[in-house]
Amino acid sequence: MSAAKGTFKNPLHIAEARSAVPAELAAACDLAARATWDLFGEIDSCILTSHALVAYLRDAGIEAEPVRVSAKAWPKCQQCPGRLLGYEPPGWPRRAASEPGMWKGHLAVACQGNLLDATIEQVNNECIHLAPVVFALYPEWEEGRWLDMINDEGTHIQYSRCWRQIGFKSAPDSRPSHWRDITERMHQLAEADISEAAA
Tell me the β-bridge partners of 147: 159
Q: Confirm whether 32 is domain-assigned.
A: yes
CA gyration radius for the chain?
A: 16
Confidence at residue 144, expressed as pLDDT on a 0 to 100 scale: 82
Cα(156)–Cα(171) distance, integer angstroms: 30
Q: Which helix (H) or strand (E) holds 170?
A: none
Alpha-helical runs (H) found in 6-136: 14-19, 23-40, 46-59
Structure confidence at residue 94 (pLDDT): 46
In a domain, 76, yes or no: yes
- In tens digits, what is the pLDDT along the chain, a chain of 199 residues? 444 566 766 899 999 999 999 999 999 999 999 999 999 999 999 999 999 999 999 999 999 999 999 999 999 988 888 888 987 555 444 444 445 555 678 999 999 999 999 999 999 999 999 999 999 998 888 888 889 999 999 999 999 998 888 888 888 999 999 999 999 999 999 999 999 999 8
The neighbour count for residue 33, using CB atoms within 10 Å, is: 20
State the SS3 of 89-109: CCCCCCCCCCCCCCCCCCEEE
Domain assignment present for 121? yes
First to last CA, the chain: 39
Q: Is residue 143 part of a domain?
A: yes
Report the pLDDT value the prediction gives residue 99, as an integer from 0 to 100.
55
Residue at 96 is within a domain = no
Residue 2 lies in a domain: no
Q: Give the range of the structural domain holding residue 190, as residue numbers without chain letter.
A: 12-90+101-198
Q: Examine residue 192 and state whether it is found in any structural domain, yes or no.
A: yes
| Number of compact structural domains in the chain | 1
Q: Is residue 63 part of a domain?
A: yes
Q: How far is CA 198 from CA 26, 32, 188, in A?
A: 21, 22, 15
pLDDT confidence of residue 79: 83
Tens-place pLDDT, residues 75-123 = 998 888 888 898 755 544 444 444 555 567 899 999 999 999 999 999 9
Helices (H), 41-175: 46-59
